[in-house]
Amino acid sequence: MKSVSSTVHLSPNALKVLEKRYLKKNEEGIVVEKAENLFRRIAKTIASADLKYGKSETETAVTEEEFYAMITSLDFLPNSPTLMNAGRRLGQLSACFVLPVEDSMESIFDAVKNTAIIHKSGGGTGFSFSNLRPGGDIVGSTKGISSGPISFMTVFDTATEAVKQGGTRRGANMGILRIDHPDILNFITAKDNNSKFNNFNLSIAVTDDFMHAVKNDKEYDLVNPRTKKIARSLRAKEVFDLIVNHAWKNGEPGIVFIDRINKYNPTPNAGAIESTNPCGEQPLLPYESCNLGSINLAQMVTDNSVDYQKLKRTVRKAVHFLDNVIDVNKYPIQKIDEITKSNRKIGLGVMGWADMLIQMGIPYNSDQAVQLAEEVMGFIQKEGKNASTALAEERGVFPNYTGSIYDGKIKIRNATVTTIAPTGTLSILASCSSGVEPLFAVSYVRTVMEGTKLIEVNPYFEKVAKERGFWSRDLMERIADKGSIHDFAEIPEDIKEIFVTAHDISPMEHITMQAAFQKHVDNAVSKTVNFSHDASPRDVEDVYMLAYNLDCKGVTVYRDGSREEQVLSTGKTKQEAEPAQTKIVPRKRPETIKGETRYMKTGCGTIYVTVNEDENGQLFELFTSMGKAGGCASSQAEAIGRLVSLALRSNIEPEAIFSQLKGITCHNQTWSSGGKITSCSDAIAKALEQYLHKGEKGNGNGKKHNSEVMLLGACPECGGAVEHEGGCAVCHNCGFTKCA
């Protein structure tokens, strides 16, 4: 892509992501579309829905220009499928779908088929497996024994893996099981083996009865969904502790408060809500879809104050845009077309919240920020409802309006109007912070063509650093090593208070902010509650209880480094252990040997790690060299290298070696393009691991899939650092996201 018109102002990284993921390509994979052409086809396609409601060609052209101006200015962006597919042959514009899974083989495999169709079109899917009879139950037609919901989830996972290989956008799933299902304990522990369910986010549908039983240390009943009879009872606190401990270990399962979700179900007569989309922010009925979009709050600040007039105009146009999407959308399944148009749910959310706070000089973790969150989202909710009401006067209410919670009191076009969705890739395009998250870093390293490293600095921080006289290239590079500015003495304290990152904020403050937005959101809020590596399970428990008490609809947590540990600590060995030997003699070094050297950043300085293999292709030895020779760090790195070499020459599997070294922490930690480096030994372990994945070398079988590499903290597409935010995992370097 050579040039972009003056009407579209995108950063170099946004242009790179746009070219990689959104712009049209020919059969040879060459980009044949410019950014302004993409935005024009989107605006033209979505505006065309006005013709259906009696607007003239001239009036529709005016709407097109409004939509074009709104998205080219980056005031608002729709969800990724709309960016990808509007005005193109596929024409599927929705991000979120929920499919029913009933207790029959026909229903299960119909859902698998429909999942494949949706994933191929660029959507993500959610399922409740709560209607399936438990493992060990009787199958009436054959008198056999049911394998239970977890075994059938494997079928969905495998189908997703197959479909995503040829798709433009990863398929993602949400799997939900009710807390009172007899197989709940197996569901909680389903991801103990990391080779399973890598295409699923797992959440437990937690009921009010269960939460009351936890608080009062009572038992609760597990109910067979087939017979509706009590299967057995469990002590609620023990089950809750199991959930907490697994979330502490690797962030899953999450929890959704299903009774609270149904309390606010806008169409109860149309059915109960059992599941959500993959990131949990969009509860949907079976066969329902939703179209999402986000307002860029960074663009809604004038003279250090919220520009409510501009925000009002943007909300009005965004609601109009999203309602039009429902009509021009080409739904992948006819039933989805019918149910979606019966309720006409839209999900207008926000991004750039942290940027808004920074421009106004308000710390993210302050009472003032929480109050502003309620004010801004309350304003968006009010104006969104007003816009939907105006559309209802012109176009009619949604068909399932009768029997809804609105109950004839107000006329409204859309059953729901607001949702806070993750905006990982959208926020890269808009060059703003993601969703309602704090900054993920003040400065970070971005990899560009041919491995060149660039230092990306938050533009607001760069501006204030230059104005206040403490900017320097060296400082920006040192901040990029850490992400946070918390420990830099040369930075004024008032600046540190404003430019806080996810790990500068306590988990309780994360939840308080989520709850502030949830007060004025129809659907739910997708947000990650970040924990430091040394957080305890009790800390996770406290967050869960606070989220429930503050009326959140769900919780997603991530403890720093936990998934990296989990992959190494729970992976099953691929072969039986060798019989014990009385003596192990290391292999002798051959005359010639080959290998490669990796450059690794550590908090103690640069370390060069050389990994060599013998003539048979087996890993043989490892050497280290510190950028600054001498000293304790250099001698310890050399000692580690010698011991690793001895282990490799003694035929010990590399995975067993780096699992012992990886995750060891010291006081001086840093960040690299592949993730967090916690110590010199951690850097050596990751260098060995990267060499192993690159060539699939080893003394046995150590192959890992891309989805597992992603869990290790590195993006499977570009190797950049993966951040856990907005209930998802996102690479800010190339726009890769785990979630659809």
* 10-residue mean pLDDT series, the chain (740 residues): 56 90 90 95 98 97 98 96 94 95 95 93 93 88 79 92 64 94 96 84 97 98 96 97 95 96 96 95 96 97 97 98 98 97 98 98 98 98 98 96 84 97 92 95 74 81 96 91 90 96 94 98 95 94 98 94 55 36 68 84 84 83 75 81 87 81 75 71 86 59 41 61 76 74
CA dihedral of 558, 521, 545, 557, whole degrees rounded to 10: 0
Helices (H), ranges, 530-679 = 537-549, 562-570, 631-649, 654-661
What ranges do the domains of the chain cover? Answer: 96-276, 441-499, 575-701
Which positions ≥6 away from 629 have C-beta within 8 Å? none
**pLDDT score recorded for residue 581:** 44
Residue 529's φ and ψ, nearest 5 degrees, are -95, 110
Q: Report the catalytic residues.
A: 277, 279, 281
**pLDDT score recorded for residue 711:** 44
Residues 565, 685: Cα–Cα separation, whole Å: 12
Q: Which DSSP helix (H) or strand (E) runs through 164?
A: helix 149-164
Q: Is 269 exposed, middle or buried (0-12, 13-18, 19+ CB in 10 A)?
A: exposed
**pLDDT score recorded for residue 575:** 37
DSSP for 486-550?
Answer: TT-TTS-HHHHHHS-BGGGS-HHHHHHHHHHHHTT-SS-B--EEEE-TT--HHHHHHHHHHHHHT
**pLDDT score recorded for residue 632:** 75
Q: Residue 381 is encoded by which pair of tokens?
A: 């909710």
**pLDDT score recorded for residue 141:** 62
Angle at the Cα of 23 from the Cα atoms of 89 and 355, rounded to 5 degrees: 125
Query: What crossing angle do the helices spanning 149-164 and 105-120 adopt, rounded to 10°?
Result: 30
**pLDDT score recorded for residue 87:** 96
CATH dotted code for 575-701: 3.90.1010
Fold of 96-276: Anaerobic Ribonucleotide-triphosphate Reductase Large Chain (3.20.70)
Residue 214's φ and ψ, nearest 5 degrees, are -65, -50
CA dihedral of 34, 40, 43, 48, whole degrees rounded to 10: -130
Residues 510, 505: Cα–Cα separation, whole Å: 7
pTM score, two decimals? 0.82
Residues 705, 711: Cα–Cα separation, whole Å: 10
The beta-strand segments (E) located in 236-288 are 254-257, 275-276, 283-284
**pLDDT score recorded for residue 628:** 57
